[in-house]
Amino acid sequence: MAIRAEETEIEVRAYRRRFSAAYKLRILAEADACTEPGAIGALLRREGLYSSHLATWRA
């Protein structure tokens, strides 16, 4: 008996990340404290965020 591919694949359900208000405020404070060139980019990479997150959270 051969196993078909449809029977062995696992569905991964995508989910939207949710950030607490305290986390947002902490990240915004860290971003505002960045003075060196590239420091905000390093912060975003470390946290797995996008610059659009900062813009939305500031608004």
In this prediction, residue 2 carries a pLDDT of 61
CA distance 54 to 24: 8
In this prediction, residue 23 carries a pLDDT of 97
- Is the separation of the CB atoms in 44 and 50 below 8 Å? yes
CA distance 25 to 21: 6
Name 53's Cβ contacts closer than 8 Å, sequence gap at least 6: 19, 27, 44
* Cα Rg, the chain, nearest whole Å: 19
Give per-residue pLDDT as tens, 2-52. 656 566 677 888 888 999 999 999 999 999 999 999 999 999 999 999 999
* Predicted structure pTM score: 0.74
In this prediction, residue 4 carries a pLDDT of 61
Please check the confidence at residue 1 and state whether its pLDDT lies above 70.
no
